Amino acid sequence: MLKDLNSIPPSYSDQKQQKMQKERLTGEFTSALNQFQRVQRDAAQKERDSYDKVRTGSTTSGGFEDHSSDTLISGFESSRQDAGMTQQSQVSYEDFEAIKERESQLHKLESDILDVNQIFKDLATMVHEQGDMIDSIEANVESAEVHVEQANTQLDKAVTYQSKARRKKFLLLICVLVLVGVLALIIYFSV
């Protein structure tokens, strides 16, 4: 029973509604795709800005500063300054490593964004192609509906013609029986 219901072609209004839904969903998908790509570009730009900011910060703070002054510096302060420079160069090296790691992550993110972009383009192409196939199916369904209506009309005519033919055969049979009866009476009374 359910299979029979599913095999019934949708009405013209259902087809129109499905077509409008398809167009609406296609528009929403395109909008979501554009928004996703915009967010991806913004994220990549923020990563680049952050990378540039870290790189700029490490080059300005990465150099060794001269802490000498015109006054006399005690040995303790001198050794403290040397330790600070060593620590600063170590921090600069760590910053440099962080920058390199961040740069590799940025390249990976950019590659992933391009891959996702290609996937969405392929998906959009498939949706467009399927839309054409759906339009073709819809045209075939409409054509089949017209043919079914014409077939129903022809079947109604055939039933009418068959009914008329039966009536004519019945009347012809009655006429033949009456004629045979009249001939039988004529023969019976004449002999």
Q: Whole-model pTM above 0.85? A: no
Q: For residue 69, what pLDDT is reported?
A: 41
* CA–CA distance, 6 with 150 (Å, rounded to integer): 23
Q: For residue 94, what pLDDT is reported?
A: 78
Task: Indicate the domain borders of the chain.
Answer: 27-60+82-143, 161-191
Report the first-to-last Cα separation within the chain, whole angstroms.
71
* CA–CA distance, 157 with 168 (Å, rounded to integer): 17
* CA–CA distance, 66 with 138 (Å, rounded to integer): 81
Q: For residue 1, what pLDDT is reported?
A: 45
Q: 162 is written with which tokens?
A: 């068959």
pLDDT (tens place) for every residue of the chain, 191 residues total: 445 545 566 666 777 777 788 788 878 887 887 888 888 888 778 877 876 776 676 555 444 444 444 444 444 455 555 555 555 556 577 777 888 888 888 888 888 888 888 888 888 888 888 877 888 888 888 899 999 999 999 999 999 999 999 999 999 999 999 999 999 999 999 88
Q: For residue 157, what pLDDT is reported?
A: 95
| Amino acid present at 182 | V
Helical pair 12-62 and 75-190, crossing angle rounded to 10 deg: 170
Q: For residue 4, what pLDDT is reported?
A: 53
